[in-house]
Amino acid sequence: MAKELANADQTIFLWINGLAGIFGPIDLLAGLLAGDYFVPVGLSLTLVAMWFAGPDKGTRQRYQLGLIVALTSMALSSLVVLIVNAQYFRPRPFETVDVTHLMYMPTDSSFPANAMAATFGMASAVWGVNRKVGTALLVAAGIYGFARVMAGVHYPLDIVGGAAIGVVTAFFVFKLRDLLMPVLVAALRLARIFCLA
């Protein structure tokens, strides 16, 4: 079973990575989208905008609590990936297969994809407070994952594993948020005193 799954993962990877090197402008776009800056910075700027958004105080507070969940989810997702990587190391596709490279070659474990855990953790948390913006961020995170496979730095299961960690972590943090609500609301009140919220 594991061997069939690994073979299917490699077959899908080769198909997606095979899209690279055909048309220069598409490669340029995929390399830009797969990089460490474009999508993560876009998600981060969206979080900053949401911190100050909202037509009324109640909505703004809901968004701010959601953003605290998003940042916590991102951090915990990265911690989970770190723990998994301490137990299991998967070589990057370019180390085992002939691939078309569209970006630099990372040296950490391919599975699970840390970038996906972080971005899906943030996007899922935003989805929990604003469906429209959250859906847009989830789509952006999915495109980011596809681009990283096309760029030759992850297998598809690396992306799925990282995304699953991010989504589950966001769900867990939302449940934890309910327990910590009085502390979070007090922290937001303090931030308002200093004009930070």
Residue with tokens 């940042």: 71
CB 43 within 8 A of CB 141: yes
- What are 1-35's pLDDT values in tens digits? 678 888 899 999 999 999 998 998 999 999 999 99
Nearest to residue 13, comparing CAs of 164, 110, 156, 167? 156
Sketch the domain layout of the chain as residue ranges: 2-193
For the chain, percent of residues with pLDDT exceeding 70? 97
Q: What is the pLDDT of residue 1?
A: 67
CATH of 2-193, one of 1.20.144.10, 3.40.190.10, 3.90.1150.10, 1.50.10.10: 1.20.144.10
Instruction: Report the C-alpha dihedral over residues 91, 89, 102, 70, rounded to 10 degrees.
Output: 160
- 92-122 confidence digits (pLDDT tens): 999 988 898 888 889 899 999 999 999 999 9
Q: Which amino acid is at 43?
A: L
pLDDT band for 128, please (50, 70, 90 cuts).
very high
The count of residues in the chain is 197
Residue 118 contacts by C-beta under 8 Å, 6 or more apart in sequence? 40, 74, 77, 78, 166
143-169 per-position pLDDT tens digit: 999 999 999 999 999 999 999 999 999
Whole-Å CA distances, 139 to 26, 41, 44, 74, 165 = 18, 15, 15, 17, 17
Could you tell me the pLDDT band of residue 65, with boundaries at 50, 70 and 90? confident
Helix%, strand%, coil% for the chain, nearest 5: 75, 0, 25
Whether 174 has a pLDDT exceeding 90, the answer reads no
Name the DSSP class of 56: S
What pLDDT does 93 receive?
94
